């Protein structure tokens, strides 16, 4: 996170207090990143608001620029500006949709998480990060190159945020419940599954220097366990990746980030592996 050069901050004019801007200032102060403020609106003019925010931020010593834009819809607008400005991080306040609306329409923030090549921080609460717990959710059961690279990014960001906020990094990894139908006998017994995962976790802990008191290994679906752990630990930020499940050992089923988004009580930082970033940047660059 320390190498973030530019941050895209989504400003919502209808909300007087911008939690996204508050988080962006915290990150920019620690990293020296440039802030690019964006209002997504094609109907109303917001130049006065953006000028005021820019003036205040410049007076406080931040590097800042502003823009109002619209490109078909909100998430496409955000991604187009993120690509044009070369922002490595997008910060946006999350407003949960009703269950009925989610059932009928794909939430806009889900589309952003699926299609944005950059890391996305969705701010959900005004709770200070200072002295808080940073929870990193990983899938230790998957050891392919893509997951290994994503794990490294998740843990590195976790340590960076913990250092920034003077907090503690905790890591959670979920493992599946026993399945009698599994072809591999290892996955038919709880004891053998847990033993295998704990062995894999020990290697993971040694690699990233995480002690037992900060490593949480749980049985069950990740979309249930991650919010539960975040609540129990009173996490200020939860960091999660978007790699889909591959193989019986996978714990992150599909886009777990989407499923847990409204269940989590913390802010949520979502990261993509490099292969997904490369894939997403191609259509983004064509817009």
Give residue-wise pLDDT tens across range 141-193.
777 787 788 889 999 999 999 999 999 999 999 876 654 444 444 444 456 66
Widest pairwise Cα distance in the chain: 65
Q: Which of 238, 276, 275, 273 is nearest to 257 (CA)?
A: 238
DSSP percent split of the chain into helix, strand, coil, nearest 5: 45, 20, 35
Q: How confident is the model at residue 59 (pLDDT cuts 50, 70, 90)?
A: very high
DSSP character for 73?
B
Query: Are 187 and 248 contacting, i.e. CB atoms less than 8 angstroms apart?
Result: yes
- pTM for the model stands at 0.85
pLDDT tens column, 190-225: 566 677 788 888 989 999 999 999 999 888 888 899
Q: Does 3.40.50.150 match the CATH number of domain 6-93?
A: no
Integer Cα distance of 63 and 48 in angstroms: 19
Query: Are 216 and 197 contacting, i.e. CB atoms less than 8 angstroms apart?
Result: no
Query: Are 119 and 90 contacting, i.e. CB atoms less than 8 angstroms apart?
Result: yes
Q: Where in the sequence of the chain do the CATH 3.40.50.12370 domains occur?
A: 133-279
Q: Which of 128, 140, 136 is nearest to 193 (CA)?
A: 140
- In the chain, the N- to C-terminal Cα span, in Å, equals 27
Residue identified by tokens 């590097």 is 63
Integer Cα distance of 210 and 41 in angstroms: 44
pLDDT of residue 174: 83
Mean pLDDT in residue range 45-51: 95
Nearest 5 degrees, angle CA 281-CA 96-CA 233?
Answer: 90
Q: According to CATH, what is the number of the domain 133-279?
A: 3.40.50.12370
pLDDT tens column, 71-82: 989 999 999 999
pLDDT, the chain, mean: 83
Is the pLDDT at 11 greater than 90? The verdict is yes
Q: Which of 279, 275, 266 is nearest to 136 (CA)?
A: 266
pLDDT tens column, 219-273: 888 889 999 999 999 999 999 987 544 333 333 334 677 788 889 999 999 998 6
Q: Where in the sequence of the chain do the CATH 3.40.50.620 domains occur?
A: 6-93
Token code pair at residue 194 = 């847990």
Query: Are 88 and 121 contacting, i.e. CB atoms less than 8 angstroms apart?
Result: no
Is the pLDDT at 88 greater than 60? The verdict is yes
Q: CA torsion sign, 269 to 25 to 126 to 15?
A: negative
DSSP string of 249-262? T--S-S-HHHHHTT
């Amino acid at each position: 996170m320390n190498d973030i050069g530019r941050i895209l901050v989504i400003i919502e004019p209808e909300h007087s207090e911008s939690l996204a801007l508050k988080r962006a200032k915290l990150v920019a102060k620690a990293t020296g990143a440039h802030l690019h403020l964006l209002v997504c609106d094609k109907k109303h003019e917001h130049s006065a608001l953006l000028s005021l925010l820019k003036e205040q931020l410049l007076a406080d010593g931040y590097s800042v620029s502003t823009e109002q834009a619209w490109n078909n819809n909100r998430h496409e607008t955000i991604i187009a500006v993120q690509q044009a400005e070369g922002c490595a991080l997008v910060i946006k306040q999350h407003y949960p949709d009703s269950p009925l609306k989610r059932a009928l329409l794909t939430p806009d923030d889900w589309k952003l998480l699926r299609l944005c090549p950059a890391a996305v921080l969705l701010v959900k609460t005004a709770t200070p990060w200072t002295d808080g717990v940073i929870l990193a959710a990983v899938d230790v059961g998957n050891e392919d190159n893509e997951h290994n690279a994503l794990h490294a990014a998740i843990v590195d960001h976790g340590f960076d945020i913990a250092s920034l906020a003077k907090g503690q990094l905790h890591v959670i990894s979920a493992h599946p419940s026993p399945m009698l139908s599994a072809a591999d006998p290892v996955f038919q017994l709880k004891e053998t599954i847990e033993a295998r995962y704990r062995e894999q976790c020990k290697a993971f802990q040694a690699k990233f220097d995480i002690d037992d008191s900060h490593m949480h290994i749980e049985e069950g679906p990740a979309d249930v366990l991650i919010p539960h752990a975040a609540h129990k630990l009173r996490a200020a930020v939860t960091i999660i990746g978007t790699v889909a499940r591959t193989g019986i050992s996978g714990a992150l089923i599909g886009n777990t980030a989407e499923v847990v988004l409204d269940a989590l009580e913390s802010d949520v930082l979502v990261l993509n592996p490099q292969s997904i970033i490369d894939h997403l940047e191609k259509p983004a660059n064509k817009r």
